Chains A and B, each alone.
Chain A
Amino acid sequence: MMDTKKLKQLAKDSVYGLISVCVFLCIWAFGVRTSDIGIVMPGPGKVIYEFIQSFFVPIGKYTMPGHILWSLYRVLPAYIVGSVLGIVIGIAMGWFRYVNSFLRPLYEMIRPIPPIAWIPISIVWFGIGEGSKWFIIFLAAFVPVVLNSISGAKSVDPLLLKCGEMLGADKKYIFRTIVLPYSVPYIFSGLQVALSASWATVVAAEMIRSSEGVGWIIISSMDTNNVTQSLVGIVGIGIVGFILAVMMRELEGRLCRWTVREN
């Protein structure tokens, strides 16, 4: 139920937001008109116009939705595999002491190396096709998910565990009914981080080697010195990144209602 007060507040906030965006665009337009930066930078009007046009007129081989779909096709399979494996390994490492001591050193070896730094070697290993990109995205998703799953399984309230034990639950039952539900919020925040990391990484991977995708839009604009196209690419990447984050948050709200996120 939304009362009128809340609605009013929402309307007020969106007006403020609109004003601030308009002011920003005006400053941009004004700056481009009057200063030297106008020689290299297009105004906001042109960028928005070109962005809308990119839905109908292809840039390179595809239109904007085509490029976005290509990038998503690279992100999603690897993201899903990386997340599932990350959750399984992370929970196991957080819950079983010996699994942790065996896998920890290996994980600590991978963790500090940013996924982007794997690009050259993954190209050597998997060629310049989709394989190398999937590998990188897999790493980008895997590392944060493992980290969060570990801390989820480790931070289970000991009181609850003792309660379960006292009431005669066996280890399996405790794991299924206490440890797993307790770690879900942590896992979700890992999934959230992993998704934005994967999106950023695919952009980087496409910038380094590809012939389609949103990262390609940006990098090909560099070759042709077309700044408008690069800004159009940035707008596209920002919008998709935003939508992905919002979708993830919605999913979390639906799937784990018991999470209390203080904000």
Chain B
Amino acid sequence: MDKRKIISAGLAILSIVLFIFIWYLCTDVLELVPARTLPSPEKVLDSFIKKFHDKNPDGGTLIEHTLASLQVALTGYLWAIIIGVPLGIFMAWNRNVDKFVRPLFDLLKPIPGVAWIPLMIVIFGIGIKSKAAVVFCSAVVPCILNSYTGIKQSKEVHMWVARTFGATRLQMLWTVAIPTALPHIMTGIRVALSSAWVAIVAAELLGSTKGLGFMIQQSRGIYRTDIIIVGMLAIGICGIILSIILSFIEHLVVKGRK
């Protein structure tokens, strides 16, 4: 058992070392690929550290860009939760609402959030608002969908018990259905977070003056591949950090998980 664990850990370390070594070999030592196409790992690390305080070449440090992206993404994301989760619960709880809203929702669901960008720019202008609206459009769908299935999955028997004990409909929703649905709702919120993060990168690639998406798009124009990779790493790291924070919150909120 222990031996297996050691081998596993060894293989994991080996794979990363091998990856970086091959990358290094192809770029710096053998120079198989030109530095313009793929900079060496050393150069990327160097640019990563430098970018924390260097505004060149796109007019912002890494932290400024990250904060700009986060601000927009979180604005749209919070709105998506505030509107999406109650709407999903409401749709699942009230059959009449379900009948009317469900077809509309099914109609709008398959449209990817990115497709709304031009329309949102026309309606909200080119500032934060339009980007937050695009983020909202992509993040609201999983929020609604998961809250809906969560509520629908509450057990009939539990409902009957509640009714036998004379619970009102509101009490049944509040004490039976929502706690049952909570793990599902949290999953929806988690999926929505990654959709939001994707949407903001896409929105920034298309048109903005700040943010990580803008940074990588700008660097492509001037062939600074090292900064593109730095930006991609930053996007990935932010995504990981956000989802860690979220699972921490999930741990606090959701009780009675398996």
Q: How far is the CB of B206 from chain A (nearest CB, A)?
A: 6
Among A73-81, A106-114, A178-186, the stretch that binds chain B is A106-114
A-B contact count (CB 8 A): 167
- Smallest Cβ-Cβ distance to A20: which chain B residue: B100
Q: Is B112 an interface residue (CB 8 A)?
A: yes
> Residues of B contacting A245 with CB < 8 Å?
110
> Residues of B contacting A59 with CB < 8 Å?
none
B contact patch SS: helix
Q: Is A219 an interface residue (CB 8 A)?
A: yes
Inter-subunit contact B37/A124 (CB<8 Å): yes
Give Cα A199–Cα B229 distance, bound, in whole angstroms. Answer: 25
Chain B 84-108 interface mask (CB, 8 Å, partner A; 1/0): 0000000000000001111110111
Q: Is B45 an interface residue (CB 8 A)?
A: no
Inter-subunit contact B119/A234 (CB<8 Å): yes
Q: How far is the CB of A129 from chain B (nearest CB, A)?
A: 15
Give Cα A260–Cα B97 distance, bound, in whole angstroms. Answer: 28
Q: How far is the CB of B147 from chain A (nearest CB, A)?
A: 15
Q: Is A69 an interface residue (CB 8 A)?
A: no
Inter-subunit contact A118/B12 (CB<8 Å): no
Inter-subunit contact B118/A230 (CB<8 Å): yes
Interface residues, chain B, CB within 8 Å of chain A?
Answer: 4, 7-9, 11-12, 14-16, 19, 36-38, 99-104, 106-108, 110-119, 121-123, 149, 152-153, 194, 197-198, 201-202, 205-206, 212-213, 216-217, 219-220, 223, 225, 228-229, 231-233, 235-237, 239-240
Give Cα A166–Cα B197 distance, bound, in whole angstroms. Answer: 48
Q: How far is the CB of A58 from chain B (nearest CB, A)?
A: 20
Q: How far is the CB of B11 from chain A (nearest CB, A)?
A: 4
Q: Which of B11, B99, B216 contacts A117 (CB 8 A)?
A: B216
Inter-subunit contact B37/A112 (CB<8 Å): no
Inter-subunit contact B104/A20 (CB<8 Å): yes
> Residues of A contacting B235 with CB < 8 Å?
112-114, 117
Given contacts A117-B216, A230-B122, A262-B153, 15 further A-B contacts (CB under 8 A): A20-B102, A21-B104, A98-B8, A101-B7, A102-B15, A106-B16, A114-B197, A116-B114, A118-B232, A119-B205, A203-B112, A215-B114, A221-B118, A241-B112, A242-B110
Inter-subunit contact B15/A103 (CB<8 Å): yes
Inter-subunit contact A20/B117 (CB<8 Å): no
Q: How far is the CB of A137 from chain B (nearest CB, A)?
A: 13
> Residues of A contacting B108 with CB < 8 Å?
238
Give Cα A242–Cα B212 distance, bound, in whole angstroms. Answer: 31
Give Cα A118–Cα B99 distance, bound, in whole angstroms. Answer: 40
Q: How far is the CB of A113 from chain B (nearest CB, A)?
A: 4
Inter-subunit contact B16/A105 (CB<8 Å): yes
Q: Is A256 an interface residue (CB 8 A)?
A: no
Interface residues, chain A, CB within 8 Å of chain B?
Answer: 13, 16-21, 23-24, 37, 40-41, 97-98, 100-106, 109, 112-114, 116-121, 123-125, 196, 199-200, 203-204, 207-208, 215, 218-219, 221-222, 225, 227, 230-231, 233-234, 237-239, 241-242, 245, 262-263
Q: How far is the CB of A91 from chain B (nearest CB, A)?
A: 18
Inter-subunit contact B103/A16 (CB<8 Å): yes
Give Cα A13–Cα B7 distance, bound, in whole angstroms. Answer: 58
CB<8 Å pairs between A and B, sample of 16:
A17-B102, A102-B11, A109-B236, A112-B239, A114-B197, A116-B114, A117-B213, A117-B231, A120-B205, A121-B228, A124-B223, A203-B112, A203-B115, A234-B111, A238-B107, A242-B106
Inter-subunit contact A20/B11 (CB<8 Å): no
Give Cα A100–Cα B8 distance, bound, in whole angstroms. Answer: 8
Inter-subunit contact A218/B225 (CB<8 Å): no
- Smallest Cβ-Cβ distance to B10: which chain A residue: A101
- Smallest Cβ-Cβ distance to B138: which chain A residue: A200
Q: Which of A208, A241, A262 contacts B110 (CB 8 A)?
A: A241
Report if A116-B198 is in contact (Cβ < 8 Å); known contacts: A16-B103, A221-B118: yes
